[in-house]
Structure 1
Amino acid sequence: MSTYQQTPNVIIIGAGPSGIAMAHTLKCKLKFCDFLVYEKLPDVGGTWLTNTYPGCGCDVPTHLYSFSFNLNPNWSKQLCDQPEILEYMNSTVDKFDLRKHMNFNVECISASWNKGAGYWEIRFRDLNSGIEYTRHATIFISAVGGISFPRDVKFQGMDKFKGKMFHTARWDHGYDYTNKRVAIIGNGCSAAQVVPAIAGRAGHVKQYARSAQWYHERPNRTFTGFEKWLFKYIPFWQRYHRLQLFLENDDLVTTYMPGEGAAVKREQVENAAKRYIYSQTPNKYHHVIVPEFPLGCKRRIFDPDYLQSLHAPTVELVPVGIKEFDETGIVSEDGVKTDFDLIVLATGFQVAQFLAPMEIFGADGKSLKQQWDESRGAQAYMGSFVHNFPNFGILFGPNTFPAHNSALFACEVQIEYVAKTLIAPILDRRAKIIEVKLSAEEQWVNSIQCQLKGTVFSAGCTNWYINRFGRNVASWPSHASTFWMQAYFPNYKDFCLIDGSPFWYMNRLRRLLRPPKIAYIIAAAYIILVGYRRTFPTQWAYTRQLLLRILQKSLRSFPRRH
């Protein structure tokens, strides 16, 4: 922020899906361009740039896992793979000319609220040069996402292992695992995708999975050319398809809720899953492959041919944990020693450690980590706002993760909410500083935690929803549509709005009534064509040429469609 700058500015951390959507909202919906995005990775995409392991893909229908403002009629199949999704993220950024707002290979180290000046002081490190510097922002937005940093696992003797070892999110494509002995530690979504993807090339794959998972059939049909034509040219066809997918996925939430009706429906789905699992899995694994915990306690997995891969003679599943590592391999908890060339850690991410490893300090100098520890884990009003941290918004924050729906939908809902309650009021001069009230935050969080009681999320299994204090800081306790309805009508009484203009509503009216650029072009053309020609007929030729130049210049400024 310049010393002489009198207007607000915004800094966003993260150029993943939520950062891209936030940038689009600022530029294309709010018509606000004084913002910058800082990303520690070398390009856009977030988790889709980080996770490139074999078999990586989406487990939510891709037509649903898309930006509402940039539907893609050309998805190749129902559940697309990582390269196609990453290409979509890049094309979205370029279509709306967002890349010029983005700074890559720059890591946010910390941020502090300057109470006297009324802005954020944000500390960055350039990963190429190593230089650290500070930038100021009126509004500070975290879009780092929940799948950002791999979970830090520590087994005894890990440092002794002489072979190759990496996390799925840090996959080394320079390492050739052909005919190698490979260990897979973990049994979540990434492990289920990696095992069948590498089983054909690796010499032997041994998976260590302490507990079972619920697997379901994963239809992944390729879209025909006719279907793509319908999505592209028939009005609302694709949006209707998205709505169907959304409602189908949202209906699954009822199996996770407390109550007799939910238990009956859950049992029906569990029985169907058991039939599928037993039909696909070798008999020797039937006694360990079906979990004892209820459906939904862990995120369900739509089977990417993982169960079929267990038939391969080169694939072995052992339902035990790790005792220790040594120089050549792993000793499991049952005492069996196995040598490996490669160990893959499919152990997930630090989902419950929101915003890690950034250090953020609020108005009273207390760090966000300390404040959250005092609250027994991360919490935020509507998953977005934290008291003592003014002009600060979190995207895809605590207790906003949909049970089994599109994460992009949840992100876009939060973005619209943050735009309504934080960004637009500051742009309209309704306030210079906005902070959620402590009482509003606590009441909202307590309500969410009460709703989560009795759900399958806390049924006793080990999952990434529950933090070290035993509190569910990730899950939204109801339908995704309910979250949208709550966010659609903000309660401004839950916020402290400080130092605003009494004429803010005039600024709001002027912004809302601001016509798009094309309206100016059409109005100008009409006036000139109808009125000017009659008034000044001798000067018409010159005027027409001038009009054409203005039209051409204006049309060049529109984002090109690809």
Structure 2
Amino acid sequence: MAPTEPRLIIIGCGTAGIALASRLRFQLGYKNFTIYERESHIGGTWYLNTYPGVGCDVDSHLYSFSFNLNPNWSRKFAEQDEILEYLNNTVDKFGVRPHVQLGIEVVAATWISEKNVWRVGLRDMTTKKVHHQEAEMLVSCVGTISIPKDCDIPGHEDYQGSIFHSARWNHNYSLKDKRVAVIGNGCSAAQLMPHVAREAAQVIQFQRSPQWINERPNPAFSELQKWCFRNIPFYARWYRFSTWLSIDALHNLYVTGTDVLDRKRAAAQVEAESYMRKTAPKKYLDILIPTFPLGCKRRIFDPGYLQSLHEPNVELTNERITGFTKAGLTTPKRSVDFDAVILSSGFKIQEFLSPIEIIGTEGKTLNEHWEDTRGAQAYRATFVHGFPNFGIVFGPNAFPAHNSVIFTNETQAEFIVKTLIKPVLDGSFETLNVKQAAENYNTMHVQEKLKTMVWSGGCANWNLNEAGRNTTNYHDPTWKFWWDLYWPVWEDFNLSGSKISLPLAPWTRLVLWTALTPVAVVSMVHGLRTLL
């Protein structure tokens, strides 16, 4: 017998899971859900990434939830510990913590058509035992900046020194007076290099490709500013909105094909190059400054990285690593011994929901479905055909390159509530499955728009899969993302179950209210006249 109230399982308790769960509590008052988090703490990437210097490159007041503004951010760009504290505060403030099961990994989920439920396999990370739970709805809030790339350098198994990824920082290992190699030069490497340079006796950073680097002033908020955020009505919200608005305008830097936009990006590129030439050691400029356009790879906002390259114990090289030895690394030019090797080589961005095996109505896994379509895709970044009552937050083509991912996380969470969770709870239908034609049409539109973006500008970046298809980025400003996901287009879905009535769009309700109010007023006046 089906339960009286539909159940929901949420996978992951990072920013996406917190955004969805909080909304369920304060917007719907819904409690019949469980969040399974494989780590021993909540926070997702902000719990896992603890390397020295880790922080955010989005303004703190924007990199936060719209329903939980924080007037006490210490500075413009917060660091990991402060962000994690804020996430924990949100979980407690909105009653989410009792719904979280820590140390439980979702390993598989299968749609059971006969019962219209998801059967979810759960592994206890301590005992390794697997058990199962069922739920009418399933939402993935799995982040992508969580699983580090495997080391693919030959011979790494034989290396006898210490080796670890920046996202799995070894806090028990002291870098003091050590010879250290840092492999990679993306955002994480830029943040940790100043610390490594201060601690280690010798540091050689192996650059795989150049990066555009921008200045990053990070002023502290004064006590007066914090007082204003706390006490002046709407001041904090206005600051957040104006910050979002100004950052969203930077979307133009990523669009190509018109003289006006090309000139804007060229001007921004000149500014970045000027900063790099002014700040970096002259001996490294030839390998530091890219030849591809600004924005083709994720921009770095300099946390002191370029200045650290001036240190006498630091060397930057673009020599290709050919392999490990027992004592260090080899390149075509030399062999160098190292006490430790730090891998700052990125994450498995293209492996959405990996390694969870999710099986839909056709007996295919989600990854097999995406292999058939030459890459991960989802209708409005959220729903996938053949996987009923299943939503994704932070899925394919939901990454805002220029704005806050928490904004898009919240937008998707709200879309899932409106499209799936609230209608199912209200009894409007039992199952929702996006039509294949709707998914394909939406995906083709997204991919056509992405062809005009700078990510196809000839650089190697993690946005493109092996087929050259951009599966990560959203193609428009984030206000458009919000509008695209503001209300469901019910014709794009196959619905089954006892339909009562589908929720009306706000504008439909407004039209009906506008049309019916005069009629109601006339009827009331007529009734009063009759009585009198």
Bin for the TM-score computed over the shorter chain: over 0.9
In the alignment, which residue of structure 2 is the partner of 1:396? 394
Name which of 196, 205, 208 aligns with 1:207. 205
Unmatched segments (≥5 aa) in structure 2: 507-532
What SS class does the counterpart of residue 358 from structure 2 fall into? strand
In the alignment, which residue of structure 2 is the partner of 1:346? 344
The answer as to 2:454 corresponding to 1:439 is no
Unmatched segments (≥5 aa) in structure 1: 509-562
What SS class does the counterpart of residue 165 from structure 1 fall into? strand
The answer as to 2:58 corresponding to 1:60 is yes
Aligned AA (1:192): A
- 1:4 to partner: Cα distance: 5.6
* 1:249-276 superposed Cα distances (whole Å, 9 cap, x missing partner): 1111101102221110010000011110
Task: Name the CA distance, whole Å, in 2 between partners of 1:155 and 1:201.
Answer: 26
- Contact 2:54 / 2:191 at 8 angstroms: preserved in 1? yes
Task: Name the CA distance, whole Å, in 2 between partners of 1:45 and 1:302.
Answer: 23
After TM superposition, list the pairs within 5 Å mapping 1:5-44 onto structure 2. 5-44=3-42
- 1:118 to partner: Cα distance: 0.4
- Contact 1:430 / 1:497 at 8 angstroms: preserved in 2? no
Task: Name the CA distance, whole Å, in 1 between partners of 2:95 and 2:452.
Answer: 47
Farther off after superposition, 252-261 or 223-232: 252-261
In the alignment, which residue of structure 1 is the partner of 2:301? 302
Report the CA distance shift for 1:493/1:4 in structure 2 as closer, same or farther (over 3 A). closer
- Using structure 1 for the length normalisation, give the TM-score: 0.88
Task: Name the CA distance, whole Å, in 1 between partners of 2:375 and 2:503.
Answer: 38
In the alignment, which residue of structure 2 is the partner of 1:286? 285
- 1:310 to partner: Cα distance: 0.4
What SS class does the counterpart of residue 26 from structure 2 fall into? helix
In the alignment, which residue of structure 2 is the partner of 1:467? 465
The answer as to 2:86 corresponding to 1:78 is no
- Contact 1:208 / 1:318 at 8 angstroms: preserved in 2? yes
- 1:505 to partner: Cα distance: 6.5
In the alignment, which residue of structure 2 is the partner of 1:485? 483
- 1:343 to partner: Cα distance: 0.5
Taking every aligned residue pair, what percent have the same amino acid on both sides? 45
Aligned AA (2:195): A
- 1:317 to partner: Cα distance: 0.5
Task: Name the CA distance, whole Å, in 2 between partners of 1:153 and 1:294.
Answer: 28
In the alignment, which residue of structure 2 is the partner of 1:270? 269
After TM superposition, list the pairs within 5 Å mapping 1:19-418 onto structure 2. 19-258=17-256, 259-332=258-331, 334-418=332-416
What SS class does the counterpart of residue 288 from structure 1 fall into? helix
Aligned AA (2:214): H
- 1:427 to partner: Cα distance: 0.8
What SS class does the counterpart of residue 198 from structure 1 fall into? helix
- 1:501 to partner: Cα distance: 3.2
Task: Name the CA distance, whole Å, in 2 between partners of 1:489 and 1:89.
Answer: 28
* 1:354-376 superposed Cα distances (whole Å, 9 cap, x missing partner): 00010000011111111101111
- Contact 2:430 / 2:498 at 8 angstroms: preserved in 1? yes
What SS class does the counterpart of residue 402 from structure 1 fall into? coil
Task: Name the CA distance, whole Å, in 2 between partners of 1:217 and 1:47.
Answer: 24
- Contact 2:25 / 2:95 at 8 angstroms: preserved in 1? no
Report the count of equivalent residues.
504
- 1:243 to partner: Cα distance: 1.3
- Contact 2:22 / 2:95 at 8 angstroms: preserved in 1? no
- 1:499 to partner: Cα distance: 1.0
- 1:6 to partner: Cα distance: 2.9
Task: Name the CA distance, whole Å, in 2 between partners of 1:244 and 1:320.
Answer: 44
Aligned AA (1:291): P
Task: Name the CA distance, whole Å, in 2 between partners of 1:375 and 1:90.
Answer: 38
- 1:64 to partner: Cα distance: 0.5
- 1:503 to partner: Cα distance: 5.7
Kindly report structure 1 stretches of 4+ aligned residues shifted beyond 4 Å.
503-506
- 1:415 to partner: Cα distance: 0.5
- Contact 1:17 / 1:89 at 8 angstroms: preserved in 2? yes
- Contact 1:428 / 1:504 at 8 angstroms: preserved in 2? no
Task: Name the CA distance, whole Å, in 2 between partners of 1:437 and 1:21.
Answer: 27
* 1:222-256 superposed Cα distances (whole Å, 9 cap, x missing partner): 00000000001111111111112111211111011
- Contact 2:428 / 2:498 at 8 angstroms: preserved in 1? yes
What SS class does the counterpart of residue 248 from structure 2 fall into? helix
- 1:489 to partner: Cα distance: 2.8
Task: Name the CA distance, whole Å, in 2 between partners of 1:340 and 1:366.
Answer: 46
Report the CA distance shift for 1:505/1:90 in structure 2 as closer, same or farther (over 3 A). closer
* 1:404-452 superposed Cα distances (whole Å, 9 cap, x missing partner): 1001001001011111111111111111000100000000000000001
- 1:502 to partner: Cα distance: 2.9
